[in-house]
Amino acid sequence: MTSSPTAPRSRLPLVLSTLVVLLVATTASRARQPAETTETETRAAAPARAAADGKLVMTPALEAAGVTEADLQGPHDPPVDRLHPDGQVEPALGGRLIMHVSSEPPNLNFAIENSASIRWTHYDVHAGLLQFSPITWEYELDVAEAYDIEDALFLKGGPGDDFTNIRYGKIVEETADAYVLESGSRYHPMERTTVPKAEVESVERETVWTFTLRDDALWQDGHPLDARDVHFSWSIYANQHVDCDEKRFKYEKIKRVDVGGELPERVVRFFWDEQYFGTQGAFGLDFCILPSHLYDLLDPDHPRHDPNASLEAQGTEINENVHNIEWVGLGPYRVTTWERNQYLAAEKANTYWKKAPEESGYLDEIRWRYIKDDDAAWQALLNDELDVFNRVKSEDYFGEATRSETFRSRAYKALTYVGNIGYTAWNTRRQKLSDPRVRQALGHAFDVAGWIETNYEGKALWSKCTSFWFGDQYARDIEPLEYDVEAAEDLLAEAGWYDRDGDGIVDKDGEQLVIETLMPSGNKASEKFLQALQDAYRKIGVKIEIKTYEWATLLEKVLDRDFDAVNMAWTLPTPESDPMQIWHSSESGKRTSNHAGMNDPEVDRFIDEGRRELDYDTRMEIWHRLYERIYELQPYLFGWNVPRKIAISKRVHGLKLYKFEPGFRMRDLYLEAGTPGTRPIADR
Amino acid sequence: MLQYILRRILWMVPTMFGITVLLMLVISSAPGDPAAIATAGSLETQAEAGADTASTYEKFRERFHLDEPFHVRYGLWVSDVVTLDFGPEFFRPNTQVSTELWRRLKVTVPLSLIATLLSYLIALPLGILSAVKRGTFIDKLITLGLFLLYSLPTFWAGLMLMLAFGASGLDWFPVIGLHDKDASTFDTWTYVWDTVWHGVLPVATMTYGGVAYLSRQMRVGMLETIKQDYIRTARAKGLDRRTIIFKHAVRNSLIPVITVFATILPILIGGSVLVETIFNVPGMGLYAFEGLVSRDYNIVMATVTISSFMTLLGFLLSDILYAVVDPRIAYE
């Protein structure tokens, strides 16, 4: 899960907002008007409903928001060119397309660099053991042609220095007294074994993963991929000299990786130390395989092979490797040119094992064009310097900019809901915001549904939890707090906050309820929202003070927990995300993502249970209860999921809109047959 | 004169010392911690659960000596800078600031140089004409036009030029970058022509403000000069108008313009954040701005130090030029 401001640049994906207080002389005893239920409120609230069987159902609000029936079906292969004014055409091979990227990564080594834009590039220039499919929403085989999963029984007395005090295998039977193990992998021959429960310290299921690599997978320099590459790619996380602190913690949980010996040369066995629902994602989303013949000084094939290389030398070799820039990957496209601050170009690689254009791409060249300023990028699109621009502003998307002849003659627009949620985090460490009733009051006092309707023309989805809106993890049964000023005032009064001195701001123990709310500078959406929030909270005697900071300062304040409230957003790259970082109390004291300071034993228990739960349905049930509990505590003013708005050149065809960033795949795109510079597919 | 120049150059050393100490003090005490940004992953991402952020934070501070006392940090910085090593970028440690500076200068200097030359070439004749035709319709027209130009914000003017001459308007000029997307396939002449073509709008945006300002300076200087007795004398001698203006008046009117010259050098290498942002030109201005936003102290120190040095050099050159254009000025 990543977060960012929708800052001026910003690169990156998201929304943001804030809140604040402002209060108008409202006293606890003052006459109150009953809250009005508006039509807009009803419309925007409707999308959260689901049919009795749990499936999403279309509502007028969803339809108005641009959601299609297909979107509600969950995983599916989206229709091609649904919105292209010319409809579908016959595809051609060849040509080049240019996609806008707002931030340039320092390098392309995903093991040491964690920029969001690398993910997009790696999708086309690299491959992993598994790959997340935006069509099936599952992890599919990539350079692995198969994998087996086994369990581990940790015996009493500890695992031992060489992990010999552990029994591995597939638990095929569990009796009152014992576990029965069998081999779960053809590469792990073993007799059927019964292990008495009395000898077992703990059971860690699905912790042994055995991957078989494809025999036709080649690095783009022609070197064959082998198990050594995978082992090396894991081993770097144990080397403190490698700049991979952001990911190290994930792979330190893999205690052992076996290659060679009795295992065939293309087989790798991973041994995790505890069961975790996200193991597949760790292999599929984050694990970056590096070519050991180019990165590992201990590899005999390395040009500067040194069997005595120190850990520091090995770390330097990885951190400063020329191939961090001149990337050699496993994917269908090979990086050919990187003009710093300008563009990155990749051409079709002849080493990729999949040859059909539907799988490996139609284009001869993909180019990622780095333009920081979105206005400049928009102009680049109009001037044929870009083919795809996926950061179209709302006012342009719905306004004159996309209705102009200049735009319509060259491009068309499309929107898709990728996983994101804007939120305003209340710092619950602050005394004044520590009472859930105060936060619930703040939830009641802002008309989220009305805001979505008026500010986003209804094209945003009210999100009541930090989970992918269309996924099973999303707690659809959460009853949203209604816009109810009277209820808000009652809750504040109940918590001891009312206007004692008649200055229009509620107070308690001599302190006024003034909430300093941070927002990133230059973000018009946040500014507009916060001003609306100021107005709304003024009605209940809460004052919002908006504080604008540029990103570096904002971030420092947030990580130092030096704020009352902050408006930001999350992106959700997969249908199911780990709530640990945002909500577990163990993260509250760190400089990580539990900005709100959530510290609730029940929440912790749900997270701990959910992370270990391997049964999908049971886990979903746990997540739903977790998010219901979180919503009840209102650590955020939960915001909305705004769609990703894309402008795309009309010469581009093959667009499928997905639910995950960046909302489409370059690999799907093609030019029409007959376009100069292309060739018929028959000539592939 | 030579002694004076040497003395001025020597004075630059303590001046630069003062500037750099002050600069480092200011940026170190400004809010926003680069290690916090590094801990958070990047400007776009935040750390994930379980990440050892404390370790990342400390390692970052150690790596870039942010954990050292101020005097140690400054000493380390100076010891590198005397060898023209400005250190690595904080967030692209494999990139040396000096290497990137050189790359950016190759973009910024030609653009700024052309814009500056154009500014002078257009502004000086306009200023002279305006002064000579003082009070006439031409003078009023020029004055009005220049004031209008001077009042246009660069960002707005750049966007307007884009809209007017890009695809949204007349479609005469490219609006993004300095090269076509296919530039790598061009032959030399086509490449040069392509670069010139791409440079038209950025250069125009950088030029118009300077034209307005310089021509007013020139006009003021000229008006002051033509009131002088020696001009009246020249007229009385029966010299023709052209000789009076170009031989006697112009040279003596250049003092205000030369004063402005002191600012040219830093502009030449400093670039323009706005123009570079609008037209996506990866020059020095953008580099300095990015360094500031991301709290990359090495970038900020390098760009500001160079700009400061060029400003001092500009002042020196201005002083020398005063003596060149006006023999009455002499330095002991």
Residue with tokens 């296919």: B182
CA–CA dist A620, A610 (Å, integer): 8
A482: pLDDT strictly greater than 80:
yes
| A596 contact B CB<8A | no
Q: Which two tokens stand for residue A224?
A: 């064959």
Collect all residues with Cβ–Cβ distance below 8 Å to A405 and sequence separation of at least 6: none
Task: Indicate the DSSP class of residue A46.
Answer: G
Those of residues 247-266 in A touching chain B at CB distance below 8 A are 247-250
pLDDT (tens digit, 9 = 90+) per residue, A381-436?
999 999 999 999 888 888 899 999 999 999 999 989 888 888 999 999 999 999 99
A581 touches chain B (CB under 8 A): yes
Torsion of CA B141, B145, B147, B151, to 10 degrees: 160
- CA closest to A322 among chain B residues: B94
Q: Do B177 and A324 touch (CB under 8 A)?
A: no
Say which residue the tokens 């993910």 belong to.
Answer: A119
Sequence-separated (6 or more) residues with CB below 8 Å from residue A468: A419, A474, A572, A574, A575, A576, A577, A659
Per the CB < 8 Å rule, is B176 touching A383? yes
Which residues of chain A does B37 touch, with a Cβ-Cβ cutoff of 8 Å? Answer: 551-552, 555
Q: Is the Cβ pair B41, A550 closer than 8 Å?
A: no
What pLDDT score does A33 carry?
32
On the question of pLDDT at B325 being above 90, the answer is no
Minimum distance, in Å, between the CA of residue B195 and any CA atom of chain A: 14
Amino acid occupying residue B330: A
Instruction: Name residue, tokens 């592939």.
Output: A684
> What local confidence, expressed as pLDDT, does residue B40 receive?
64
A60 vs A263: which has the higher pLDDT = A263
Contact A513, A506 (CB under 8 A): yes
Contact at CB, B44 and A578, closer than 8 angstroms? no
| Position B51 pLDDT exceeds 70 | no
DSSP B249: I
- The confidence score (pLDDT) of residue A353 equals 94
A241, two tokens: 């000299």
CB atoms A382 and B166 under 8 Å: yes
Cβ–Cβ under 8 Å, residues A636 and A424: yes
User: Can you name the residues that pair with A532 across neighbouring β-strands?
Assistant: none
Residues of B in contact with A420 (CB under 8 A): none
Give the distance from residue A71's alpha carbon to the nearest chain B alpha carbon, in angstroms. Answer: 27
- Please write the tens of the pLDDT for every residue from B217-237: 889 888 888 888 888 888 888
Judged by CB atoms closer than 8 Å, whether chains meet at B36 and A559 is answered as yes
Examine the pLDDT at A32 and tell me if it is beyond 50: no
Distance CA A450, CA B83 (A): 62
What is the least distance, in Å, from the CA of B143 to any CA of chain A?
32
C-alpha to C-alpha distance for B79 and B86, rounded to whole angstroms: 10
**Are the beta carbons of B293 and A550 separated by less than 8 Å?**
yes
CATH of B104-325, one of 1.10.3720.10, 1.10.630.10, 3.30.40.10, 3.40.190.10: 1.10.3720.10
CA distance B116 to B262: 12
pLDDT 10s digits, A204-238 = 999 999 999 999 999 999 999 999 999 999 999 98
Collect all residues with Cβ–Cβ distance below 8 Å to B119 and sequence separation of at least 6: B207, B210, B211, B214
Percent of chain B having pLDDT more than 90? 32
Domain covering A21-70+419-573+627-641 in this structure, CATH number: 3.10.105.10
Q: Is residue A580 within 8 Å of residue A611, measured between CB atoms?
A: yes
Contacts A2 to B, Cβ<8 Å: 41, 44-46
CA distance A413 to A411: 7
Which member of A114, A116, A372 has the closest CB to residue B277? A372
- Among B44, B95, B284, most A C-beta atoms within 10 A, so best to mutate, is B44
Identity at A301, one-letter amino acid code? D
For chain A, domain boundaries: 21-70+419-573+627-641
User: Residue A553 and residue B31: Cβ atoms within 8 Å?
Assistant: yes
In this structure, are residues B111 and B204 in contact, taking their beta carbons and an 8 Å threshold? no
- Per-residue pLDDT at B52: 53
Chain A nearest CA to B25, separation (Å)? 17
**Can you list the positions of beta strands (E) in A103-230?**
130-132, 139-141, 144-155, 166-174, 178-182, 193-196, 200-213
For residue A439, give the 3-state DSSP assignment. helix
Measuring CA to CA, which residue among B202, B176, B177 is closest to residue B113? B202
Cβ of A114 within 8 Å of Cβ of B42? The answer is: yes
pLDDT at A114: 73
pLDDT of residue B242: 85
Q: What six digits make up the tokens of A81?
A: 């060119």
Q: Find residues 13-72 of chain A whose CB sits inside 8 Å of chain B.
A: 13
- Whether pTM > 0.95 for this model: the answer is no
Q: Which chain A residue has the Cα nearest residue B162?
A: A379
Substitution target in A96, A568, A590 with the highest count of B β-carbons within 10 Å is: A590
CB pairs under 8 A between A and B: 178
User: Residue A126 CA to chain centroid, in angstroms?
Assistant: 19
CA of B59 to nearest chain A CA: how many angstroms apart?
10
Q: Which of A117, A320, A376 is opposite residue B278, by nearest beta carbon?
A: A376
Q: Do B94 and A324 touch (CB under 8 A)?
A: yes
- CB neighbour list of residue A86: distance below 8 Å, 6 or more residues apart: A650, A653
Of these ranges, A32-41, A108-117, A613-622, B121-130, the one predicted with the greatest mean pLDDT is A613-622
Name the average pLDDT for chain A: 87
Q: Which residues of B touch A114 (CB under 8 A)?
A: 41-42, 45
Given a cut of 90, whether residue A21 has pLDDT beyond it is no
Q: Which range, of A22-26, A162-166, B12-16, averages the lowest pLDDT?
A: A22-26
What is the band of B53 on the pLDDT scale with cuts at 50, 70, 90? low
CB contact at 8 A, A314 and A332: no
d(CA B116, CA B208) in angstroms, rounded, equals: 10
The answer to whether A593 contacts chain B (CB < 8 Å) is yes
Nearest to B293 among A107, A376, A552 (CB): A552
Asked whether the beta carbons of residue B46 and residue A11 sit closer than 8 angstroms, the reply is: no
How far is A9 from A13, CA to CA, in rounded Å?
Answer: 10
Choice between A452 and B321, residue whose per-residue pLDDT is larger: A452
Angle among Cα B316, B320, B326 to the nearest 5 degrees reads: 145
Q: Is the Cβ pair A337, B184 closer than 8 Å?
A: yes
Of A3, A340, A384, the CB nearest to B46: A3
pLDDT tens string B176-186: 889 998 888 89
Token pair recorded at residue B212: 């307005």
Task: Report A:153-182 residues touching B (Cβ under 8 A).
Answer: none
A583-A584-A586-A589 Cα dihedral, nearest 10 degrees: 10
Q: Rounded to a whole number, what is the distance in Å from the CA of B285 to chain A's nearest CA?
A: 13
Nearest CA among A161, A3, A89, A20 for reference residue A565: A20
Residue B93 pLDDT > 60, yes or no?
yes
Does A514 score more than 50 pLDDT?
A: yes
A245/B55 CB distance under 8 A: yes
Query: Nearest-CA distance from B109 to chain A in Å?
Result: 17
Measured in angstroms, the CA of B182 and the nearest CA of chain A are apart by 10
Closest CA to A89 of A78, A98, A80: A80
Q: Give residue-wise pLDDT tens across range A261-313.
A: 989 989 999 999 999 999 999 999 889 999 999 999 999 999 999 999 999 99
With CA atoms as reference, the chain B residue closest to A580 would be B49
Token digits for B104? 């950016």
Query: CA B183 from chain center: how many Å?
Result: 27
Kindly provide the residue ranges of all beta strands, DSSP E only, lying in A102-191, ordered along the sequence.
130-132, 139-141, 144-155, 166-174, 178-182
pLDDT at A10 over 80: no
Chain B residues lying within 8 Å of A410, measured CB to CB: 167
% of chain A exceeding 90 in pLDDT:
67
Strands A565-571 and A514-520: parallel
Q: Count the residues in chain A.
A: 684
What letter represents residue A71's amino acid?
D
Exposure letters A208-237 (e unless 16+ CB within 10 A, then b): bbbbbbbeebbbbeebbbbbbbbbbbbbbb
State the nearest Cα–Cα gap between B26 and chain A, in angstroms: 15
Q: What is the pLDDT of residue A12?
A: 29
B33 to chain A: nearest residue by CA? A556
In the structure encoding, which two tokens stand for residue A591, read together?
A: 């400089």
Q: Locate tokens 């093959």: which residue?
A: A654
